[in-house]
Amino acid sequence: MKLLANKNVIVTGASRGIGRGIAQVFAHHGANVAFTYHSSVQPAQDLENELTKMGVKAKAYKSDASDFNQAQDFVTEVLKDFGTIDAVINNAGITKDNLMMRMSEDDFNEVIRVNLNSVFNLTKAILRPMLKQRHGSIINISSVVGLKGNAGQANYAASKAGVIGFSKSTALELGSRNIRCNVVTPGFIETEMTAKLDEKTVDGWRQSIPLKRGGQPEDVANACVFLASDLSTYITGQTLNVDGGMLT
């Protein structure tokens, strides 16, 4: 059963990792996918080709969601190419980890700009078309770190906690127009980035999780599919942890 047949969705930061997994699973469920990348040209092109072979419309756009004007222009282009936008997954993000004593102002501001401002920018850009069509699902990717904090990640935790507060406010503002806004908070998700880490360290993290394993990008993607589909039409303003029980 294709839960997202004929829906047009936007996924930011989809050339690798969790974003790539979201784009793949959404296409599997029949969604047409417009996705952004920042600098990974070849992986983005490869993904576009892969999704198109799955029988859906897919297009990669080089765009920086943390730039207000670029976000506006990107949505304008997507509307020209796809006609409508049914769901947006704000996934783009970065880390610049350091202890507070060593964290520079630039590193703090940059993480806030990319991780939090981008969510505002893209949400602002899709508001008018969603208000006009009187439906839409906005899904913002936060992190368990935004809920519990983490030493060495004050900037990242602040940005991801901000995403949750922003999303709850957006849900309250837009609910009367049938536009929903929810948050997915991944825990330890195994991607090409974690594959570069020491195996002993990674296994230690796995053992600290009740399910005794790391998550996969598809685990996050499946939660997003639910929130983008008609199975969740009475769900808004919520935060769904995809963490193997880490915060239980």
- 12-62 pLDDT, tens digit each: 999 999 999 999 999 999 999 999 999 889 999 999 999 999 999 999 999
- State the pTM of this model: 0.96
Which residue has better confidence, 192 or 224?
224
Give me the number of domains the chain comprises: 1
Q: What is the mean pLDDT of residues 125-144?
A: 97
- Pairwise CA distance, residues 165 & 161, whole Å: 7
Question: Of 6-10, 98-102, 195-199, 210-214, which range is least confident?
Answer: 195-199
β-pair partners for 88: 10, 138
Residue 129 maps to a domain: yes
Q: In what order do the strands lie in the sheet with 239-242?
A: 58-62, 32-37, 8-11, 87-90, 136-141, 179-186, 239-242
Residue 120 maps to a domain: yes
Q: How confident is the model at residue 174 (pLDDT cuts 50, 70, 90)?
A: very high
Q: How confident is the model at residue 221 (pLDDT cuts 50, 70, 90)?
A: very high
Q: Print the domain residue range for 151.
A: 8-241
Q: What is the mean pLDDT of residues 67-93?
A: 97
- Pairwise CA distance, residues 64 & 173, whole Å: 26
Residue 246 maps to a domain: no
Closest CA to 164 of 140, 145, 188: 140
β-pair partners for 11: 35, 89
Residue 248 maps to a domain: no
* Active-site residue flag, 156: yes
Is residue 77 over pLDDT 80? yes
The per-residue pLDDT for 53 is 98
Residue 161 maps to a domain: yes
Q: How confident is the model at residue 1 (pLDDT cuts 50, 70, 90)?
A: confident
- Pairwise CA distance, residues 31 & 103, whole Å: 41
Residue 2 maps to a domain: no
Q: Residue 33: how many CB atoms within 10 A of its CB?
A: 28
Mean pLDDT, the chain, whole residue set: 96
Q: In this predicted model, what pLDDT tens digit does every residue of 47-61 receive, in sequence order?
A: 999 999 999 999 999
Residue 247 maps to a domain: no
Selecting among 37, 61, 156, 234, the annotated active-site residue is: 156
Specify the CATH number for the domain of residue 171: 3.40.50.720
Residue 162 maps to a domain: yes
Closest CA to 138 of 104, 201, 184, 102: 184
Is residue 197 over pLDDT 80? no
